[in-house]
């Protein structure tokens, strides 16, 4: 008898389902349609991957991006599940072989792009027995969604070709109007809506408002440097900004790449591939980058500008911490962002709806209450407790009666005939002696200098709240001038009291303990060893490191230190297939680490260096340490980069180093292993390329 729990344990390495997964699987196996709304990282894929193993015929998955398909298929193969993808990246021979494999029932899942689907459904696809239809990123079918794609509207033809197959529509974010539109456009029949919690407690939410450029640059650079070696995405509104910020990072010693839709597809693919494979850590990108990123170890997301809606914003920050480990998100914004966003939509037939979505996003950014609860309520989820992991919860503002301050600001707006923006209003209130104020005779109004006891940033803080509370509004189509509202009159008359949050300077985040340590703990040393091993295996298999194991799995191994098969299989993410492939090696690494004398545990790299200094070769060091030779080579490369007297030329010739140097030069100083490997026609293995790059780095 088919057991979803057994499949979950055997193939995916998890002992229990997340909320709703079991119900969705049962509903699907009973042959019924469903609309599944689960936040990014919530486990959507398992909801259709497990049923595919219990159904007699093929499960067809429509997926929008080639990279996303490839990652999912690689992960399924790593778990021992037969799957493939069909898209424009395949040769005609590969396509015909794939069609044959489908026809002979050799595959359980087939991923296909909507573009390929349009043609396939008229020919070979309609001849196949299909048990389940899945539409991933289903919000793309709706004009109300945040990433509409016209080709998605052709998917409904699948119902005509496969009338008996149930359909599952899956997306991470969709408000009520988008959900209804998805069901209508795809032709879902008597479907069940499965709406998972949008709680992502591991994500820390922070917003920074109206920050001067030089201060912003310093804040962001400090933030990224403190997370050296961790993957992050820096989202920008324009293509130009992605390039400028990437250049800023690179000029300050942080390796970065930019990504936007204006680049050649081959360049975009190279950037995305390098990021997924941890060849570099920081990507500066427009929102064109992200939907195809199934990368579990993104540790931070920064938005350089206000996003256009909460759906897109929450999906973008959801790309951090998919493995459940703590991750940071920071949103920077100013009111010019709102002008730009409104300019983007000015000719849209849905202008009013889009404007409302921008307002809701602005409300989130300017809120002084729990930010996570604002997002959850937007998606129809009500939580009474504060999250304890956003800036407003971690540093709750103290409130005071701000009615008098509000009256001063409103009076100044009124007496200036609603013709001033925020900065000029603050200048009036503080009694600034500027040319603009004197030219417009604003120094003569009654409230000139009435708020000089407060600094510029304090007034900025107070006015933002007045806007957020509806006491003032910004005319985005009139040079950002401030306007009075119906509530303004009540406040001016004293009929309505206003509470404001006191201004307090946001504290710079304390540098993490791990950055201040001179030595690593035992668990951290073992984790570093496990990650190093994983990286080598990923390179050898030409897949992203997280396809081998997620960070959370390695972290649990480092913490629990399993010493036998039973203990290792209890680790989350350790399925039977992965145990058979990697279990013995992992146990060897843990056991070897356990047997190293305590005095040697200062650093696993130093232990390798001591053996190297004793004259042992790589093979002997590997045998002594009970590690793979690739791991030892990686140790030696790192030791060399740290300035230790290691002669890497013993392992890679000067001729080969020069070949790598020339190849890198042709690739515009690209340090990614795969492009260099391909440029050299595969003549030099990844290990030697890595060593050569370490030597070249030392020569720079």
SS3 annotation, 264-291 = CHHHHHHHHHHHHCCCCCEEEECCCCCC
pLDDT confidence bin for 595, thresholds 50/70/90: low
Mean pLDDT, range 246-258, rounded to an integer: 92
Q: Is residue 35 a contact partner of residue 182, using CB atoms and an 8 Å limit?
A: yes
**CATH number, domain with residue 458:** 1.10.10.10
612 lies in some domain: no
Last residue of a domain, one of 456, 475, 501: 501
Tokens representing 557?
Answer: 């191994």
Instruction: Give whichever of 242-256, 381-395, 657-671, 686-700 has the largest mean pLDDT.
Output: 242-256
Last residue of a domain, one of 166, 195, 224: 195
647 lies in some domain: no
pLDDT confidence bin for 162, thresholds 50/70/90: very high
In eight-state DSSP terms, residue 378 is H
Q: Is residue 45 a contact partner of residue 515, using CB atoms and an 8 Å limit?
A: no
pLDDT confidence bin for 596, thresholds 50/70/90: low
Tokens representing 82?
Answer: 């037969």
148 lies in some domain: yes
Do 377 and 405 reside in the same domain of the chain? no
Question: 551-561: per-residue pLDDT in tens?
Answer: 889 999 998 89
Task: Identify any residues that bridge with 83 across adjacent strands, giving them in sequence order.
Answer: 109
Flag whether the pTM goes above 0.75.
Answer: no
Do 386 and 416 reside in the same domain of the chain? no
Residues 6+ apart with CB under 8 A from 564: 587
Do 121 and 166 reside in the same domain of the chain? yes
Q: How many domains does the chain have?
A: 3
Q: SS3 for 92?
A: helix
| Residue numbers of the domain that contains 135 | 4-195
Tokens representing 315?
Answer: 């999906």
Do 348 and 456 reside in the same domain of the chain? no
Do 283 and 236 reside in the same domain of the chain? yes
Length of the chain counted residue by residue: 700
pLDDT confidence bin for 145, thresholds 50/70/90: low
104 lies in some domain: yes
Residues 6+ apart with CB under 8 A from 117: 62, 125, 154, 155, 158
- Compute the chain's Rg from CA coordinates: 28
565 lies in some domain: no
Tell me how far apart the alpha carbons of residues 210 and 342 are, in angstroms, rounded to a whole number. Answer: 18
What's the pLDDT at 597? Answer: 55
pLDDT confidence bin for 649, thresholds 50/70/90: confident
Burial letters for 315-351: b for 16+ Cβ neighbours within 10 Å, e otherwise? bbbbbbbbbbeebbbbbbbbbebbeebbeebeeeeee
Q: Is residue 370 a contact partner of residue 393, using CB atoms and an 8 Å limit?
A: yes
Question: Rounded to whole angstroms, what are the CA distances from 527 to 51, 289, 532, 547?
Answer: 34, 29, 8, 17
Q: Is residue 572 a contact partner of residue 552, using CB atoms and an 8 Å limit?
A: yes
In eight-state DSSP terms, residue 390 is B
What's the pLDDT at 512? Answer: 44
Q: SS3 for 58?
A: strand
Tell me how far apart the alpha carbons of residues 432 and 96 are, in angstroms, rounded to a whole number. Answer: 75
Do 159 and 37 reside in the same domain of the chain? yes
Tell me how far apart the alpha carbons of residues 413 and 424 are, in angstroms, rounded to a whole number. Answer: 10
Q: Is residue 98 a contact partner of residue 124, using CB atoms and an 8 Å limit?
A: no
Question: 4-39: per-residue pLDDT in tens?
Answer: 999 998 888 888 898 899 999 999 999 999 999 988
Q: Is residue 575 a contact partner of residue 79, using CB atoms and an 8 Å limit?
A: yes
Do 294 and 161 reside in the same domain of the chain? no
Tell me how far apart the alpha carbons of residues 696 and 657 are, in angstroms, rounded to a whole number. Answer: 8
349 lies in some domain: yes
Question: 276-314: per-residue pLDDT in tens?
Answer: 888 888 999 998 676 556 688 899 999 999 999 888 899
Closest CA to 548 of 584, 515, 520, 581: 581
pLDDT mean across residues, the chain: 86
Do 357 and 488 reside in the same domain of the chain? no
Tell me how far apart the alpha carbons of residues 500 and 313 are, in angstroms, rounded to a whole number. Answer: 27
Residues 6+ apart with CB under 8 A from 199: 39, 372, 376, 381, 383
Q: Is residue 359 a contact partner of residue 365, using CB atoms and an 8 Å limit?
A: no
pLDDT confidence bin for 670, thresholds 50/70/90: low
Tell me how far apart the alpha carbons of residues 556 and 569 are, in angstroms, rounded to a whole number. Answer: 12
509 lies in some domain: no
Do 178 and 216 reside in the same domain of the chain? no
Task: Identify any residues that bridge with 192 across adjacent strands, giving them in sequence order.
Answer: 34
Question: Rounded to whole angstroms, what are the CA distances from 434 to 408, 431, 440, 668?
Answer: 20, 9, 10, 49
In eight-state DSSP terms, residue 156 is T
Least confident of 179-193, 359-373, 466-480, 668-682: 668-682
Instruction: Give whichever of 47-51, 135-139, 383-387, 472-476 has the largest mean pLDDT.
Output: 47-51
């Amino acid at each position: 008898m088919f057991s979803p729990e057994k499949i979950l344990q055997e193939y995916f390495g998890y002992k229990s389902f997340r909320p709703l997964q079991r119900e969705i699987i049962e509903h699907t196996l009973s042959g019924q349609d469903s609309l599944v709304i689960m936040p990014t990282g919530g486990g959507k894929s398992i909801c259709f991957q497990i049923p595919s193993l219990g159904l007699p015929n093929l499960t067809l998955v429509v997926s929008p991006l080639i990279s996303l398909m490839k990652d999912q298929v690689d992960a399924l193969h790593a778990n021992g599940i037969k799957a493939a993808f069909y898209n424009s990246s395949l040769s005609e021979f590969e396509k015909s072989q794939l069609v044959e494999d489908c026809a002979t029932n050799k595959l359980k899942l087939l991923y296909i792009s909507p573009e390929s689907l349009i043609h396939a459904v008229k020919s070979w696809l309609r001849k196949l027995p299909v048990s389940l239809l899945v539409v991933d990123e289903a919000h793309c079918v709706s004009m109300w969604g945040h990433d509409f794609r016209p080709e998605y509207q052709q998917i409904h033809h699948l119902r005509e070709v496969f009338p008996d197959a149930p359909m599952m529509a899956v997306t991470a974010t969709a408000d009520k109007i988008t959900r209804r539109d998805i069901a209508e456009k795809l032709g879902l029949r008597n479907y069940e809506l499965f709406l998972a919690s949008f709680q992502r407690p591991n994500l820390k939410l922070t917003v920074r408002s109206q920050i001067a450029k030089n201060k912003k640059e310093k804040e962001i650079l400090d933030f990224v440097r403190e997370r050296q070696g961790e993957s992050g995405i820096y989202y920008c509104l324009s293509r130009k900004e992605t390039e400028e910020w990437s250049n800023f990072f690179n000029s300050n010693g942080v390796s970065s790449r930019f990504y936007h839709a204006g680049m050649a597809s081959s360049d975009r693919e190279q950037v995305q591939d390098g990021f997924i494979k941890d060849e570099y850590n920081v990507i500066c990108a427009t929102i064109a980058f992200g939907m195809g990123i199934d990368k579990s170890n993104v540790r931070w997301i920064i938005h350089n500008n206000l996003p256009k809606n909460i759906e897109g914003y929450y999906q973008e920050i959801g790309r951090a911490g998919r493995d459940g480990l703590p991750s940071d998100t920071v949103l920077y914004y100013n009111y010019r962002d709102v002008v730009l966003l409104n300019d983007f939509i000015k000719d849209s037939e849905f202008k009013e709806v889009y404007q409302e979505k921008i307002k809701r996003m602005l409300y989130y950014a300017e809120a002084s209450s729990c930010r996570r609860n604002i997002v959850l309520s937007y998606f129809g989820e009500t939580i009474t407790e504060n999250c304890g992991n956003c800036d407003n919860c971690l540093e709750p503002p103290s409130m005071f009666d701000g009615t008098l301050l509000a009256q001063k600001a409103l009076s100044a707006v009124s007496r200036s005939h609603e013709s001033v923006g925020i900065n000029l209003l603050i200048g009036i209130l503080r009694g600034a002696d500027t040319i603009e104020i004197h030219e417009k005779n604003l120094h003569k109004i009654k409230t000139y200098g009435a708020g000089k006891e407060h600094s510029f940033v304090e007034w900025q803080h107070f006015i933002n709240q007045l806007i957020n509370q509806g006491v003032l509004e910004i005319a985005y189509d009139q040079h950002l001038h401030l306007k009075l509202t119906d509530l303004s009159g009540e406040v001016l008359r004293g009929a309505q009291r206003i509470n404001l949050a006191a201004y307090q300077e946001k504290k710079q985040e304390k540098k993490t303990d791990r950055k201040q340590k001179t030595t690593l703990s035992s668990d951290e040393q073992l984790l570093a060893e496990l990650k190093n091993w994983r990286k080598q295996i990923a390179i050898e298999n030409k897949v992203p490191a997280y396809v081998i194991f997620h960070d959370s799995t390695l972290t649990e191994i480092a913490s629990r230190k399993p010493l036998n098969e039973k203990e290792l299989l209890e680790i989350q993410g350790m399925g039977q297939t992965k145990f058979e492939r990697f279990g013995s090696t992992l146990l060897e690494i843990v056991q070897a680490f356990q047997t190293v004398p305590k005095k040697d545990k200062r650093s696993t790299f130093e232990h390798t260096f001591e053996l190297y200094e004793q004259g042992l070769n790589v093979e002997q060091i590997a045998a002594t340490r009970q590690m793979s030779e690739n791991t030892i080579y990686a140790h030696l490369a790192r030791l060399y980069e740290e300035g230790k007297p290691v002669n890497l030329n013993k392992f890679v010739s000067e001729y080969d180093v020069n070949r790598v140097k020339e190849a890198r030069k042709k690739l515009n100083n690209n340090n990614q292993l795969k492009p260099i490997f391909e440029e050299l026609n595969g003549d030099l293995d990844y290990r030697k390329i890595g060593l050569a790059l370490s030597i070249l780095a030392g020569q720079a």
